[in-house]
Amino acid sequence: MKKFDLSGTSQGRLSILRFADEKVNGRPAYVCICSCSPEREIIKSSTTLRGGTKSCGCLHSENARKQLKAVEHLITTHNMSKTPTYIAWRNMKARCDDPNHQAFKNYKDRGITYCREWASFENFFADMGECPEGLTLNRIDVNSGYTKENCEWATNHKQGRDRRKPKSGTSSKYKGVSYSKAEDKYKSYLTLKGERLHLGYSSDEELLACRYDEKVIELTGCIGGTNIQLGLLDPANLIVY
Q: Which residues bind Zn ion (CB under 5 A)?
A: 34, 36, 55-56, 58
Nearer to Zn ion, 56 or 228 (CB): 56
Nearer to Zn ion, 49 or 87 (CB): 49
Burial of 25 (0-12, 13-18, 19+ CB in 10 A): exposed
DSSP secondary structure of 125-184 = HHHH-SPPTT-EEEESSTTS-B-TTTEEEE-HHHHHHHSPPPPTT-SSSSTTEEEETTTT
Smallest gap, in angstroms, from Cβ of residue 51 to Zn ion? 16
User: Which residue(s) pair with 153 in the sheet?
Assistant: 137
How far separated are the first and last CA of the chain, in Å rounded? 52
Smallest gap, in angstroms, from Cβ of residue 58 to Zn ion? 3
Nearer to Zn ion, 62 or 117 (CB): 62
Smallest gap, in angstroms, from Cβ of residue 39 to Zn ion? 12
**CA 216 to CA 213: how far, in whole Å?**
5
Smallest gap, in angstroms, from Cβ of residue 41 to Zn ion? 12
Nearer to Zn ion, 34 or 49 (CB): 34
Nearer to Zn ion, 36 or 240 (CB): 36
**CA 87 to CA 80: how far, in whole Å?**
10
Smallest gap, in angstroms, from Cβ of residue 8 to Zn ion? 19
Nearer to Zn ion, 59 or 199 (CB): 59
Measured CA distances, 45 to 4, 22, 29, 35 (Å): 13, 10, 4, 18
- Closest to 17 measured CA to CA, from 28, 4, 7: 7
Smallest gap, in angstroms, from Cβ of residue 156 to Zn ion? 41
SS3 assignment, position 26: coil
Q: What is the largest CA-CA distance in the chain?
A: 80
